[in-house]
Amino acid sequence: MEGDPRERENRRGSLDEMEMKVARFSRGKAANLGDLRDKKLKGQLAGKEKLIGVSAKAAAQAEKWLLPSVGGYLEPEGLEKTYRFEQWSILPKVDIGSSRKSFDMILPVFGPYTLEYTPNGRYMIVGGRKGHIAFMDMLNMELINEFEVKETVCDVAFLQNEQLFAVAQRKYPYIYNRHGTEIHCLKEHGKSLKLQFLDKHLLLASINSYGQLHYQDMSTGEMVANYSTGLGRTDVMRVNPYNAVIGLGHARGKLTMWKPTSVKPLVTMLCHKGSLTAVAFDRGGHLMATAGGDQKIKIWDLRKFEVVHSYTARAQSLDFSQKGLLASSNGSLVEIYRDCGGQDYKIYMKHRMVKGYQVGKVLFRPYEDICGIGHSMGFSSMLVPGSGEPNFDTFVDNPMETGKQRREKEVQALLDKLQPETIMLDPDVIATVRQLKKKQKKTKKEIEGEIEGAVEAAKNIRVKKKTKGRSKPSRRAKKKEEEVLRAKRPLLDQHKEASGHPDKKLRIGDDTELPKALQRFAKNRQS
Portion of the chain with pLDDT greater than 90, in percent: 53
Which helix (DSSP H) or strand (DSSP E) does residue 10 occupy?
A: helix 5-25
Nearest of 64, 34, 31, 66 to residue 50 by alpha carbon = 31
Q: What is the pLDDT of residues 320-358, one digit of tens each?
A: 999 999 999 999 999 999 998 888 899 999 999 988 899
Longest CA pairwise span in the chain (Å): 117
Average pLDDT of the residues in 60-81? 81
List, in order, residues 6 or more apart from 428 with CB less than 8 Å away: none
Q: What is the pLDDT of residues 268-290, one digit of tens each?
A: 999 999 899 999 999 988 999 99
Contact between residue 487 and residue 454 where contact means Cβ atoms under 8 Å apart: yes
Q: What is the pLDDT of residues 128-153, one digit of tens each?
A: 999 999 999 999 889 999 999 999 99
Whole-number pLDDT of residue 40: 85
- Cis peptide bond N-terminal to 112, omega within 30: yes
483 pLDDT tier (thresholds 50, 70, 90): confident
Alpha-carbon distances of 188 from 174, 202, 221, 261, rounded to whole Å: 11, 18, 11, 18
Residue environment code for 217-239, b if the CB has 16+ CB neighbours within 10 A, otherwise e: bbeeeeebbebebebeebebbbb
Residue 506, pLDDT > 50, answer no
Question: What is the overall mean pLDDT for the chain?
Answer: 86
Whole-number pLDDT of residue 510: 52
User: How far is it, in rounded angstroms, from Cα 119 to Cα 116?
Assistant: 9
Residue 307, pLDDT > 50, answer yes
Angle at 90 between CA 84 and CA 93, to 5 degrees: 140
Which has more confidence, 433 or 324?
Answer: 324
39 pLDDT tier (thresholds 50, 70, 90): confident
1 pLDDT tier (thresholds 50, 70, 90): very low
Contact between residue 281 and residue 287 where contact means Cβ atoms under 8 Å apart: yes
Which has more confidence, 413 or 342?
Answer: 413
Domains delineated in the chain: 83-426 (2.130.10.10)
523 pLDDT tier (thresholds 50, 70, 90): low
Which helix (DSSP H) or strand (DSSP E) does residue 58 occupy?
A: helix 39-65
Contact between residue 328 and residue 359 where contact means Cβ atoms under 8 Å apart: no
Q: What is the pLDDT of residues 200-233, one digit of tens each?
A: 999 999 999 999 999 999 999 999 999 999 898 9
| DSSP symbol at 387 | -
| pTM above threshold 0.85 | no
Whole-number pLDDT of residue 467: 62
Contact between residue 169 and residue 152 where contact means Cβ atoms under 8 Å apart: yes
Contact between residue 495 and residue 444 where contact means Cβ atoms under 8 Å apart: yes
Residue 313, pLDDT > 80, answer yes
Residue 308, pLDDT > 80, answer yes
Residue 507, pLDDT > 60, answer no
300 pLDDT tier (thresholds 50, 70, 90): very high
Of 14-23, 85-94, 367-376, which has the strongest mean pLDDT?
367-376
Alpha-carbon distances of 237 from 86, 193, 240, 244, rounded to whole Å: 31, 9, 10, 12
